Amino acid sequence: MPYITPETYLSDRIDAQLEWLNRASQRNKHQFVRLRILEIALGSLIAVASPLMGNHAWAKWMIPLAGAGIALSGSMVALNRNQENWARYRTLIEQLKREKFLFLSGVAPYEQGESAFPQFVRTVEDLMTQERTSWVRRVQEGSGTTPETPLLASAARHN
């Protein structure tokens, strides 16, 4: 007899992780897109405004400031790894959803009756452990900033 029911595990662990991952994925996607749009806009501004500047006092500062904005935006994208985090989170979401639907449907590898739930738990916990291990490795390699980890979502919820 399991200590936790499949319904509780699905709602408290899987659905909670999916919600956290979805929010983190969206946050990283929006940050990545905003920073890239800023780079495009500032680059376009430089290209269009350069020939029109003339001898205006403000003109000598606009191009360097726009260039600095491009450099800052590009650095933030590299430092925060928003695109990488967005892709990683989306991948884990799809893996967890797949396992959840296989389990709920009672199809392979979750068709063995009483052993289906423990197998499901092992599989999804392995997926989340792989993500956590990957996150720890990136942090230890000095990836810049500390990326978010989906495994912190359940820990923060229970504190």
Q: How far apart are CA 11 and CA 21, in angstroms?
A: 14
- With a pLDDT cut of 70, the percent of the chain lying above it is 87
Model pLDDT, residue 42: 96
> Mean pLDDT across the stretch 23-51?
94
- Taking a C-beta distance cutoff of 8 angstroms, is the pair 18, 94 a contact? no
Model pLDDT, residue 61: 86
Length of the chain: 159
pTM of the model: 0.77
> Mean pLDDT across the stretch 14-22?
97
- Name the packing angle between helices 16-49 and 59-80 (round to 10°): 160
Q: Tell me if residue 100 falls in helix, strand or coil.
A: helix
Q: How far apart are CA 32 and CA 78, in angstroms?
A: 10
pLDDT reading at 149 higher than 70:
no
For CA atoms 121, 124, 125, 126, the dihedral sign is: positive
Given the structure tokens 């990836």, which residue do they identify? Answer: 143
Q: How far apart are CA 136 and CA 149, in angstroms?
A: 9
> Mean pLDDT across the stretch 53-77?
88
Lowest mean pLDDT among 1-5, 33-37, 117-121, 130-134: 1-5
Model pLDDT, residue 158: 46
At 67-101, the pLDDT tens digits run 999 999 999 999 999 999 999 999 999 999 999 99
Q: What is the mean pLDDT of the chain?
A: 87
pLDDT reading at 11 higher than 50:
yes
18-45 burial, b at 16+ Cβ within 10 Å, e below that, comes to bebbeebbeebbebbeebeebbeebeeb
At 39-50, the pLDDT tens digits run 999 999 988 888
